[in-house]
Structure 1
Amino acid sequence: MKPTKDDHAVVDLLDVLLRDGAIIQADVVITVADIPLVGLSLRAAIAGMTTMTDYGYFEEWDELQRKLAEAPDDHPLLPGKG
């Protein structure tokens, strides 16, 4: 099988990530001279906002952003307010 050049690979990857999402999980240990100093447990969810809210992530944040977009002058956390 001969490799082919696919100019749309990045677009297809972004489409899948935004539509379906992905979870990336990694455990990292930082060492110096074979002495473990720091341990990290990382987890990232990557998806479009529609997918995130469908799975229950960022629902409150999304709702707040939509309200701010409709009436930004009404929010007390904006500069010059509350």
Structure 2
Amino acid sequence: MRPTKSEDDALVDLVDVILRKGAVIEADVVIAVADIPLVGLKLRAALAGMTTMTEYGIFEEWDEAQRLRHREGVDRRVE
């Protein structure tokens, strides 16, 4: 009997890779009416799991603040 891989696993694998390694998406958008550019947008998004983000120095302060806030909340419940 040979192992098989369902097609649903491809999406799971993709999400796993994005969370572990991360991905950066960049886009330049120009909104124009009658060939006259009105608005220009430069977009950049980083997608990754929090562990990966903090390894690269992104959201370190936010992560530390959230962990401290959580610890304080747990300490209050224990008292």
TM-score normalised according to structure 2 size: 0.82
Would you tell me which structure has more helix in proportion to its own residues?
A: 2
| CA shift digits 1:19-76 (9 cap, x unpaired) | 0000000000001111100000000000000000000000000000000111139xxx
The Cα of 1:9 is off from its aligned counterpart by 1.2
Gaps of 5+ in 1: 74-82
Aligned residues: 70
Q: Distance in 1 between matches of 2:35 and 2:22?
A: 36
Q: Which runs of 5+ in 2 are unaligned?
A: 1-5, 75-79
Runs of 4+ in 1 over 2 A off after TM superposition: none
1:41 corresponding residue in structure 2: 42
Counterpart residue number, 2:14: 13
**Aligned Cα root-mean-square deviation (Å):** 1.8
Percent identical pairs in the alignment equals: 68
Q: TM-score with structure 1 length normalisation? A: 0.80
